[in-house]
Amino acid sequence: MKKFVLILLFLPGIITSAQTDTLIVPLRAIDSTIVQDVRYATGNNFTKQVLYPSAKVFLRKIAAENLAQANDFLKNNYNLRIKIFDGFRPLFVQKIMWQILPDDRYVADPAKGSRHNRGAAVDVTLIDAEGNELDMGTPYDDFTERASFASKDVSEKAYANRKLLRETMIQFGFDPMETEWWHFDFKDWNKFGILDVN
């Protein structure tokens, strides 16, 4: 597992010949005010396993910059901020997830790869000025129908919070996913290849 961290550290050096906006960067270097809560680096996730050796979020630079703009917009207009649960996910982690939950409504088939494997997807929610998560009707990684954006089975307040998150993310270049209120793909995800660092 140490190898994973080392390769991530050296990755930007390896691909400097590529366009700089395709670099994978630590999100904290772009916006340190986005709160990071990486459940896959703890046992507190649907697999009940520690899947990541590091609790740092990495993203393609251009996606991180757009997310930072969304965060600024939320801070300035609503006194809210973004909390991020996941960004870049190595392919070997995708394979472990698929073994545990082989249902492509909620986990991408590693044969196709997830947009997370390209460093171009984020799992996010909104937090208030005190850091409390806003009510979204379900927790993150709730693999039920109620996690669908348009579910009628959540409160009006929760729906309004989902809508604010979704509309803000769309405004700053991310495409929503209907079955998971927390998941967004950066619009140019298909310009980035799948990466594995195992």
Which one of residues 23, 173, 183, 192 is an interface residue with Zn ion (CB under 5 A)? 183
Q: Which is nearer to Zn ion, 39 or 183 (CB)?
A: 183
Taking CB under 5 A as the criterion, which residues in 122-161 touch Zn ion?
A: 123
- Tell whether residue 83 is a contact of Zn ion (CB under 5 A): no
Could you tell me how many residues of this chain bind Zn ion (CB under 5 A)? Answer: 2
By beta-carbon proximity to Zn ion, the closer residue of 75 and 95 is 95
- Token pair listed for 111: 């044969």
Identity of residue 36: Q
- Total residue length of the chain: 198
Of 191, 185, 160, 161, which is closest to residue 173 (Cα–Cα)? 185
Comparing CB distances to Zn ion, the nearer of 6 and 96 is 96
Burial class (CB in 10 A: 0-12, 13-18, 19+), 114: buried
- Considering only residues 13 to 32 of the shown chain, the ones binding Zn ion according to CB under 5 A are none
Active site residue 65: no
How far does the chain reach from its first CA to its final CA, in angstroms? 8
Catalytic residues: 180
Residues that bind Zn ion (CB under 5 A): 123, 183
